[in-house]
Structure 1
Amino acid sequence: MKMTRGNMMETSSCADQEIDTGKAVCQQQGFVKTPVKVRFGDSVFTVDKDVLEQHCEYFQALFHSGMKECQQDEICLQALSAHGFLVALRVIYGEKPILSGDEIVEAIECAVFLQIEILTKHLINIINSDNCLLMYHTAATFGLLKLLHSAALFIRDMHQDLKEDVKCLPEDLIEYVESLLPSTYVTVGTHSPTIKLLQDFMRTVCYLDEDEKDWKVLTHLPLNASTTMAGVTVLDNKLYIVGGVYDITNKVVDSGFCYDVSKDTWSTFSSPQQLRYNCSLVGHEDTLYIIGGEHNKTIMSSVEKYKISTDTWSFAAHLPRPAAAVACAMTMSRLFICLWRPKDATEIFEYIVNKDEWTLTTTLVRHQSYGHCMVAHRDNLYVMRNGPSDDFLRCMMDSYNLTSGQWTAMTGQYENSKGALFTAVVRGDSVFTVNRRATVEYAIEDNKWRTKKEMSGFPRIGSMWTFLLRLPKKSSEILERKHNGQNISFDLPSDSSALCADC
């Protein structure tokens, strides 16, 4: 029997609940070392006391308060729903459930009342165009500020598509959304280091002016920075470059570079312990991961991670096999890579951060060539590859759904005279693909990408990297979009970076 709101089974332990959604929780029953019962009306859950203390600040404070509840075998919580607590347990025990509207409301209430940080992070990870307004309004109602801010940023990025629905929100919530900076598409091409006397004014990072449908200069690369066969990524609204080479000798630049868009300044940081080029760079929670690549013409399987706050590099788990220019994608705070092997097979691996290990997610067998990239939208991974016989004018695509575990061949070949799709980035429900001749915005739909609009291409030769940044107002020549700060009625920290550095 599936548990739904108003139809809860009475039970003396989680293991006794005959529910589909409680599977992961029930599997943990053998690990209950110090059991404690938590009662919600007629529903009772038997949970490991240590688990509650580890993940719920409410129980942590309760168990150390010296109150009589510390010694009781059963704790009664009248204000919360049992189903919201069940959702919390599922997340605590490692599930990543996609939630309905009722479940979202109950989960937010539970996250606030019990102070469950891991549940708040999961709610942030599953924000999408279908639930963002509900997330935003409910988070404001209960005062879950991290979720409120993240949902507001998502709505700001999709404001054009959601503008009619946004009007239903209270005025103070509308004003807060409009006070935030939207994400802007940014691209950098392939450039080698130079010297001041030979400064190449094409060595620029550019942003897409969507009103004028053209690319404009955001900043110039430092003289000794290289994006040739480098790893490039964005984390916390900062651009990072690691591992570029000087010239055809493939000598690696021995410094990393960081562009802080809010200050319009460049800085350097230390290089990986193993210098490499033709590598991939991904950012996640104060950490950069540099994946695979080459050194002295040898392809490597090593992975290193850089802790930004401490400026330190350390080795992480090796890739399952050596690989260069690895296709990567982040979705719902999960890191995936796409590796190729003989006999037309594609393998997708996930890096499990807390276990420092790579696990095989799925294998796809398709006739394909070497050119590829991967992007993510919601719980879908999109793998792009060249068409038949290495046809660079046609791009074939397959989608893998992480929740259902199913592959889908996307309809259409995305064929035109503008070239194949080899660099792309997702914002909201749109994906922008960039090449030399055209920048195309697609609406992501169930089994295809539908063309929304076409703009100028990025007129540079060589590889390019595309990403999102929230650009502050710098001058009327650089950005025409204005940032109007507003005061809103609920209590947010004066420094919104305390909630989300991506603002």
Structure 2
Amino acid sequence: MSEDGSSCDSADKRYLPCCAPALVSAKMIIVVGDTHFSEEKMFLVQSCDYFQALFRSGMKECRQEKIHLKSLHAQGFLIALAVLRGELPVLDGDDIVEAIECAAFLQVAPLTKHLIDLIDSDNCLLMYHTAATFGLLDLYHAAALFIRNMYADLEAEVRKTLPSEMISYVESLTPSVFVAVGAHVTCGVDETVHAASRTVCYLDETSNNWKVLTDLPLQASTSMAGVTVLDNKLYIVGGVRGVHKQVVDSCFCYSVENNSWTRISGPAQLRYNLSLVGVDGHLYAIGGEYERTVMSSVETYDVKTGRWAFAAHLPRPVAGAACTKAMSRIFVCLWRPMETTEIYEYVSRKDEWRLVTTLIRHQSYGHCMVGHRDNLYVMRNGPSDDFLRCLMDCYNLSSGQWSSLPGHFANSRGSLFTAVVRSDSVFTLNRSMTLEYAVDGKTWKPRRQMKGFPRSGSVWTFLLRLPDALLLQ
């Protein structure tokens, strides 16, 4: 207990060596320009590095009831407070500049993260230049990567508006390439080491050809496994092996930097036909099956510690669920009878699954979902049982509104059973073709057609940034 009788846990105490009695349950006035903000001191300390340092310093400011922040604009501070309270405001040009200024000056990590999530083709140059001006390095790098991935479209504007050193930094980065791996069932040490189905391939867009990146480890299986990319590393979790489809207990990570595979620990609950997604240094193994029993359990893997832990269970069991991330948030499609697709979000700070929205369509369920900016795109089979066509609906997270995309999308052999976003483009593929769509508002416009992926069965697709040494092999 604190001196005034209120509770103060150990996580809070580390910020309060000098002025804990004055800080706990106390308010202060923050003056930014001509605007006064009244905020809980504890809220500011827990949320912002600047205030943590201030109240740990023992300086006289930590005992004052009013602090002036003369270097900031009120709108930037207001945006920071909104983000710290869990809001996700949409920002225009002036808002972006003032938000970056605030994020840099006060070291507000959640605001920086939100700004990174908002990068698009309309604001990426502004984000990049302003982040350079204020020294917000994480945003600077993220905006540069976005520009590099869209360099063919943005190069003229880049050369017209940016200084030479910033252009050089963009051009020094490696763009993300489209990578695919087919379903491979390992059969043990007697299988052919270089079997085609064991290869992870990437699309060389210059030559319009698929090239081998690496072979899967002999013990790895991608059949009914969870496959995802996190921080430019490829992870494979679970799956089945052999003719009797025994569950795989070995999990693997591929590093493009070292061009090597390492084994990682597996989840406590063996599972196959799971969904795997990576966000903020963690993998999430969602649902799946074990011994033909569908599960609702979810486990999370901390990449830094190498440990798995159980998270909140899904509302009901699910296997092979459509899952994606958008705005650094995890979303999963759950089906219900009566042709209903429910979308749930995992709220990590509360360790709970929250129902976001419901989609009801005649004789149709969501079979693939992809996130772009603050939109979730749900792909589903065509009217009745026409699986050669695909319809798409869009749910906007900011407005909470559904809309249907015009027209039908060809779905022959699974072209929209998998989709990957790269900047403001979406890549889909089947055996016949790889299609790139330009995302314009809520519309997908065909942009390029390239060579299809020569594998049958299920395919996992993702993006990786490959070092020049691998590209030159």
Q: Is the TM value for this pair above 0.5? A: yes
2:278 aligned residue = 283
Please report how far the alpha carbon of residue 371 of structure 1 lies from its aligned counterpart in structure 2 after TM superposition.
Answer: 6.5
Choose from 260, 263, 272 the match for 2:267. 272
Equivalent residue for 1:422?
A: 417
Q: For 1:78, which of 45, 48, 70 is the aligned residue?
A: 70
Shift in Å at residue 414 of structure 1?
Answer: 1.1
Q: Return the structure number with greater relative CO, CA threshold 8 A, min gap 6.
A: 1
The residue aligned with 1:324 is 319
Instruction: Give the equivalent residue in structure 1 for 2:7.
Output: none
Provide the C-alpha distance between the structure 2 equivalents of 1:431 and 1:403, rounded to a whole number of angstroms: 21
2:102 alignment counterpart: 110
Q: 2:117 aligned with 1:120, yes or no?
A: no
- Aligned position for 1:185: 178
- Aligned pairs for 1:44-443 within 5 A: 44-167=36-159, 168-199=161-192, 200-202=194-196, 203-370=198-365, 372-415=367-410, 420-443=415-438
TM-superposition CA deviations, 1:390-448 (whole Å, max 9, x none): 22210110000000000001101113766552111010111010112111011112343
Q: Contact 2:387–2:411 at 8 Å: present in 1 too?
A: no
Letter in 1 for 2:388: L
**Alpha-carbon distance, 1:326 to partner:** 1.0
The alignment yields a C-alpha RMSD, in angstroms, of 1.5
Contact 1:394 1:420 in 2 (8 A): no
Q: Secondary structure at the match of 2:143?
A: helix
One-letter code of the match for 1:263?
N
Q: Which runs of 5+ in 2 are unaligned?
A: 1-23
Offset, 1:333: 0.7
CA contact (8 A) 1:292 1:302 kept: yes
Q: Is the 1:166–1:174 contact (alpha carbons within 8 Å) kept by the matching residues of 2?
A: yes
Give CA deviations for 1:27-83 in whole Å, capped at 9, x if unaligned: xxxxx9311001123210100111111122222222232332222211112221111
What residue number does 1:6 align with? none
> Could you report, residue by residue, the CA deviation over 1:86-119 in whole angstroms, capped at 9, with x for unpaired residues?
0110011111111111111111111111121121
CA deviations over 1:351-406 (Å, ceiling 9, x no partner) = 01111100000011112435610001110000001112322210110000000000
Are the equivalent residues in 1 in contact too, given 2:287–2:297 (CA < 8 A)?
Answer: yes
For 2:202 and 2:414, the matched residues in 1 are separated by: 21
Runs (5+) with no aligned partner, structure 1: 1-31, 479-503
Corresponding residue of 2:13? none
Is the CA contact (8 Å cut-off) linking 1:371 and 1:422 kept in structure 2? no
Deviation at 1:85, TM superposition (A): 0.6
**How many residues matched?**
447
Alpha-carbon distance change, 287 to 447 in structure 1, aligned in 2, over 3 angstroms: closer
Q: Is the 8 A contact 1:412 1:448 kept in 2?
A: no
- Structure 2 contact 381–391 (Cα < 8 Å) conserved: yes
TM-score for the superposition, normalised by structure 1:
0.86
How far, CA to CA, are the matches of 1:370 and 1:40 in structure 2?
50
Contact 1:320 1:358 in 2 (8 A): yes
Which residue identity lines up with residue 296 of structure 2 in the other structure? S
Aligned-partner residue type, residue 119 of structure 2: I
For 1:438 and 1:69, how far apart are their aligned partners in 2? Answer: 63
3-state SS, counterpart of residue 355 of structure 1: coil
| AA of the residue aligned to 1:423 | T
1:277-309 per-position Cα deviation (integer Å, ceiling 9, x unaligned)? 111111112211100011111111011111122
Q: Which amino acid aligns with 2:257?
A: S
Taking the aligned partners of 2:469 and 2:406, their CA distance within structure 1 comes to 42
